[in-house]
Amino acid sequence: SAVPDLAGRHVVISAGGTREPLDPVRYLGNRSSGKQGYALARTAVARGARTTLIGANTALPDPAGADVLRVGTALELREAVRKAAADADVVVMAAAVADFRPAEYATGKIKKKDGQEPAPLVLVRNPDILAEVSAGRARAGQLVVGFAAETDDVLANGRHKLRRKGCDLLVVNEVGEDKTFGSEENEAVVLGADGSETAVPYGPKEVLADVVWDLVAARLG
Ligand code: C5P
């Protein structure tokens, strides 16, 4: 079993992907499975943390020993993260959050009409939860960790995103056709606001999770 180096700490992890409803039966969503966030939760529990896992549309077994909350939309996720972060030592945003949501929600199912073009889909921006949590640390010394999926210039884009979001650590994945989404394995570079760069070779999501907790534990002191 793991060294309990997160004992006495409260960690909050978001996982999965948000869904933004168009009407009672349709939504805009993404392919995030939540597996990386769940791996983070299992390993956090194993290292002794009080663990709050906020699952957005995940269909995975609750990690034993974690408090699991469920949300659907980005706005619901924002509220849940805000509340849980109030007394958190660490916030890890592993969820894939929709950048945009439909400007309007139709309370009845949207119908197609013969001979009529579809109405244009109007979207509005969702808040950037990671940037908000980073900017408004609920506690002195609270650590914030983000994730980023990049297809090219992975390190340069990752560095830029780390600064833009204001987080302490950014886990950068290279994504492509069949990489990462829904798979059991991951490959990443963890960038630190202190300039550190930790490469994690292709392997189980638990291994990447433990590297993240190693870096977090070192920074919590
Ligand atoms: O900007 P991008 O979506 O690539 O950033 C990914 C990171 O930001 C992830 O940690 C994700 O959870 C977080 N994010 C967020 N709120 C958004 C969009 C992304 O917290 N609206």
Is the pLDDT score of 179 beyond 70?
A: no
Nearest-angstrom CA–CA distance, 141 and 78: 21
Dmax of the chain from CA atoms? Answer: 66
Q: Which one is predicted more confidently, 183 or 34?
A: 34
Q: Say if the ipTM goes beyond 0.95.
A: yes
Contact of 12 with 90, CB cutoff 8 Å: yes
Atom of ligand 1 nearest to the CA of 14: 12
Ligand 1 neighbours, Cβ below 6 Å, are: 74, 93, 95, 97, 99, 126, 128-130, 146-148
pLDDT in tens, 90-108: 999 999 999 999 999 999 9
CB-CB contact of 56 with 17 (8 Å): yes
Closest ligand 1 atom number to CA of residue 126: 21
The protein residue with its alpha carbon nearest to ligand 1, atom 9, reads: 147
Taking the centre of ligand 1 as the mean of its atom positions, its distance from the CA of residue 129, in whole angstroms, is 7
Any idea what DSSP says for residue 62? P
pLDDT one-digit tens code per residue, 29-88: 999 999 999 999 999 999 999 999 999 999 999 999 999 999 999 999 999 999 999 999
Alpha carbon of 93 to ligand 1 centroid (Å): 7
Return the active site residues: 30
pLDDT at 185: 79
C-alpha–C-alpha distance, residues 91 and 161, integer Å: 17
Atom index in ligand 1 nearest the CA of residue 133 equals 20
Residue minimizing CA distance to atom 8 of ligand 1: 130
In the predicted model, is pLDDT for residue 186 greater than 90? no
Question: 3-state class of 2 per DSSP?
Answer: coil
